[in-house]
A and B are shown apart, each in its own frame.
Chain A
Amino acid sequence: MNEKDIMKEWKRDSIIIGTPTNILAALTAFIPVIWLCTTYDCWPPVTTVLTAWGMVAASFGAFYFVEPVSYYAALGLSGTYLSFLSGNIGNMRVPCAALALDVTDSTPGTIQAEVVSTMAICGSIITNLIGTTSAVIIGSAVLAVLPEFIVSGLTQYASSAIFGATFGNFAIKYPKVAVFALAIPVALKLFTPLAAAWVIVITVFGTLLIARVFYKKGMLA
Chain B
Amino acid sequence: MSVIEQVQQVSNAPILWILCGITVVISAVQAVLYMRQCSKITREAGIDPHIPKEAFRVGFISAIGPALGVFIVMVGLMASIGGPMAWLRLSIIGAAATELSAANIGAEACGVALGSEQYTLICLAVSWFAMALNGAGWLLFTGVATPSLETLRNKVSGGDMKWLVVLSGACSLGIFGYLNSGEILKGVGNTIAVLAGAISMVILVKTVCKKFPRLMEYSLGIAMIIGMIFSVGYDQLFR
Contacts and interface: CB of A to CB of B under 8 A. Distances in A.
Contacts, number: 590
A144 to B, nearest CB: 10
A149 B232 contact: yes
Nearest to B123: A44
A168 B174 contact: no
B114 interface: no
Contacts of B34: 14, 17, 78, 81-82, 118, 122
A69 B201 CA distance: 27
Closest 6 CB pairs of A and B: A161-B227, A123-B59, A164-B197, A181-B177, A120-B59, A168-B198
Tell which of B102, B123, B133 has the most Cβ of chain A within 10 Å: B133
B92 A103 contact: no
11 contacts: A1-B44, A1-B45, A11-B150, A52-B133, A56-B133, A70-B171, A108-B165, A146-B72, A150-B232, A161-B224, A189-B185
Given A104-B51, A116-B52, A122 B174 contact: no
Given A63-B138, A156-B189, 16 more contacts: A26-B135, A29-B92, A29-B132, A73-B153, A73-B168, A96-B58, A99-B219, A103-B216, A121-B31, A122-B32, A131-B68, A162-B220, A165-B224, A165-B227, A171-B173, A190-B185
A33 B128 contact: yes
Contact of A171 (B59, B67, B200, B202): B202
Contact of B139 (A25, A132, A215): A25
Contacts of B28: 125-126, 129
Chain A interface size band reads: 35 or more
B49 to A, nearest CB: 10
Nearest to B54: A104
Interface in A169-221: 169-174, 177-178, 180-186, 189-190, 199-200, 203-208, 210-212, 215, 220
B73 A155 contact: yes
Interface in B32-60: 32-35, 37-38, 41-42, 44-45, 47, 51-60
A73 to B, nearest CB: 4
B75 interface: yes
A64 B232 contact: no
A212 to B, nearest CB: 8
Contact of B110 (A44, A130, A155): A44
Q: Is the interface of B mostly helix, strand, loop or mixed?
A: helix
Contacts of A102: 205, 216
A160 B227 contact: yes
B125 interface: yes
A61 to B, nearest CB: 6
Contacts of A143: 72, 75
Given A28-B26, A99-B219, A117-B55, A42 B120 contact: yes
B47 to A, nearest CB: 5
Contacts of B54: 100, 103-104
Q: Is the interface of A mostly helix, strand, loop or mixed?
A: helix
Given A86-B91, A86-B92, A185-B181, A42 B193 contact: no
Contact of A119 (B56, B137, B178): B56
Contacts of B124: 36, 42
Nearest to B226: A161
B156 to A, nearest CB: 8
A104 to B, nearest CB: 5
A115 B63 contact: no
B231 A119 contact: no
A15 B147 contact: yes
Contact of A86 (B27, B61, B184, B194): B27
A57 B101 CA distance: 12
B170 interface: yes
A161 B200 CA distance: 10
A165 B172 contact: no
